[in-house]
Structure 1
Amino acid sequence: MAHLPQIKVPATYMRGGTSKGVFFRLQDLPVAAQQSGAARDALLLRVIGSPDPYGKQIDGMGGATSSTSKTVILSKSSKPDHDVDYLFGQVAIDKAFVDWSGNCGNLSAAVGAFAISAGLVDAERIPQNGIATIRVWQANISKTIIAHVPMTDGAVQETGDFELDGVTFPAAEVQLEFMDPAADEEGAGGSMFPTGNLVDDLDVPGVGMLKATMINAGIPTIFINAEAIGYTGTELQDAINGDAKALAMFETIRAHGALRMGLIKDISEAAQRQHTPKVAFVAKAADYTSSSGKQVQTADIDLLVRALSMGKLHHAMMGTAAVAIGTAAAIPGTLVNLAAGGGTRTAVRFGHPSGTLRVGAEATQVNGEWSVTKAIMSRSARVLMEGWVRIPGGGF
């Protein structure tokens, strides 16, 4: 019986923030997959183990959650004053679909470290000891990210005592700066608030009229009030991910928000744009028990936020959504800002299902238009495995 042998592709499996993904150098991919298109998508789907009607990704590197069904392609930067180009692919679990419409803020924490170790950063830019400042061009959304990567004895330092809720073990801290984070999405006019309003009335079939803050920052995000949809903001994953009716409601909200934001032209297009926009709900600070059993006190946080990714409640918080939260919190009058108590602020600490996270952002208003120069937060990252990933040959 004729068969095609497996091929092997150099790859590194990394954790970045509260996500995991398979990292590739562009030059290491099969020639057909070095360009965007069907061959690249087919390769990445097979690597991750999608589409999988069982929803487990058993025959691939994926972990059967949106946080672990991710791929990254890096190359030396083609942009002036940048070190590396970073392209992120969110792989659907049960569908033959790779979403290239947004960034992964969590895996952004691993990009600098991988780029250094993979020889994509000029040697003179890397200190023997101290902090390497890696200038990343995020190709999905055409934005700059500055990664501050610790170095020890000429190698990336991965271990340390920095703790990140949602990650079991401590590691070295990587500070990220998301420069000019207001996303310039096609059809959104490049405005941070594509509707021109800090708060809109969003008419959602089957739900009713909802107050919503729809923002393009970090990643396009739709914020709604928890109480408006029957929640408290203290929910953990099981409360929502086991409720098919709730998930359908959130997808309807997401689709209609995407239409209002100008990200899609017809509701039917939302199904082919699963990674963006995100939908999140906010509430005033309150005591709750995190998924690890840790007690989060009202006094420790400014507000509560729960966000959905790829149709499910996230176990912690997506990095890009954290940028959106920090940005919206810095702008008086948004639902995020109001949930945090209102007023002017340059940083916010919010409670998520796994614990808390702090993100900073500075907003200014000029001629009625809001802008944010950068959002800052800390994550951690480390290599989990490196070598080759193997997939059945053919078509690549």
Structure 2
Amino acid sequence: MDGLGGANLLTSKVAIISKSSKADCDVDYLFAQVVVRQNRVDTSPNCGNILSGVGVFAIKSGLVRADSPTTKVRVNMLNTGKICELIMQTPNAKLSFSGTAKIDGVSGTSAPIICNYEDTIGSSCGALFPTGNFKDEINGVSVTCIDNGMPVVLVRADEIGISG
């Protein structure tokens, strides 16, 4: 991603980071989604992609001291009240971005950033299956609603006339 804004959902995200108010965490992280074409900012969701950069920022800004060969950064996610432990590659107590980790759809490789989420079940809706069902029908389409850190609706491709 290059730049902030541009009326694009992917580039209109903000991470607000500070030293943590919790004794068992290193930093507090508030995610803010600038809602494109609306006059509002949404702080109800979370964003794992932006979260992965929180550890890098924490080390580079001096909020967390790097260890070797890895550094753990405990993040208090203010949006959900949950904690994520990030494990950063820091050989010789220096951040490393070189590695073989690959994400489909993203060019190149890099050092992995491990995200260990703690107790995320029902963090937004109150239950792993917010409707109480493994399967529901919405407008004639079979769906599964899940909340394991972020509310998600799973739909089989053939249910909406496309292939996976």
Partner of 1:249: none
Partner of 2:112: 173
CA distance in 1 between counterparts of 2:53 and 2:4 reads 17
Partner amino acid, structure 1, of 2:131: T
- Structure 1 residue runs of 5 or longer lacking an equivalent are 1-19, 22-59, 234-396
Query: 1:254-333, aligned counterparts within 5 Å?
Result: none
CA distance in 1 between counterparts of 2:142 and 2:42 reads 28
When normalised by structure 1's length, the TM-score is 0.39
> What displacement does 1:219 show?
0.5
CA distance in 1 between counterparts of 2:122 and 2:80 reads 7
CA distance in 1 between counterparts of 2:123 and 2:114 reads 23
CA distance in 2 between counterparts of 1:61 and 1:148 reads 26
Q: Is the 8 A contact 2:122 2:130 kept in 1?
A: no
Partner of 2:62: 119
Partner of 2:21: 78
Partner amino acid, structure 2, of 1:220: P
Partner of 2:69: 130
CA distance in 1 between counterparts of 2:7 and 2:111 reads 27
Partner of 2:146: 215
Partner amino acid, structure 2, of 1:66: L
Partner of 1:161: 100
Q: Is the 8 A contact 2:100 2:111 kept in 1?
A: yes
Q: Deviations over 1:38-87 (max 9, x none)?
A: xxxxxxxxxxxxxxxxxxxxxx7225432222110001111121111111
Partner amino acid, structure 2, of 1:155: K
CA distance in 1 between counterparts of 2:95 and 2:39 reads 35
CA distance in 2 between counterparts of 1:149 and 1:223 reads 31
> What displacement does 1:232 show?
1.0
Question: When you count helix as a share of all residues, which structure comes out higher?
Answer: 1
- Higher RCO by CA contacts (8 Å cutoff, separation 6 or greater): 1
Partner amino acid, structure 2, of 1:231: I
Partner of 2:34: 91
Q: Is the 8 A contact 1:84 1:120 kept in 2?
A: yes
Q: Deviations over 1:101-152 (max 9, x none)?
A: 111111111111111111212x3xx31x201011111110111111000113
CA distance in 2 between counterparts of 1:131 and 1:164 reads 21
CA distance in 1 between counterparts of 2:6 and 2:84 reads 26
CA distance in 2 between counterparts of 1:164 and 1:136 reads 22
Partner amino acid, structure 2, of 1:130: P
Partner of 1:246: none
Aligned residues between the structures: 164
Partner of 2:132: 196
- Structure 2 residue runs of 5 or longer lacking an equivalent are none
CA distance in 2 between counterparts of 1:228 and 1:64 reads 31
When normalised by structure 2's length, the TM-score is 0.90
Q: Deviations over 1:297-354 (max 9, x none)?
A: xxxxxxxxxxxxxxxxxxxxxxxxxxxxxxxxxxxxxxxxxxxxxxxxxxxxxxxxxx
Partner of 2:47: 104
Q: Is the 8 A contact 2:15 2:29 kept in 1?
A: yes
Question: When you count strand as a share of all residues, which structure comes out higher?
Answer: 1
Partner of 2:79: 140
Q: Is the 8 A contact 2:69 2:92 kept in 1?
A: no
Partner amino acid, structure 2, of 1:214: C
Partner of 1:252: none
Larger radius of gyration: 1
Superposition RMSD in Å: 1.8
CA distance in 1 between counterparts of 2:16 and 2:146 reads 27
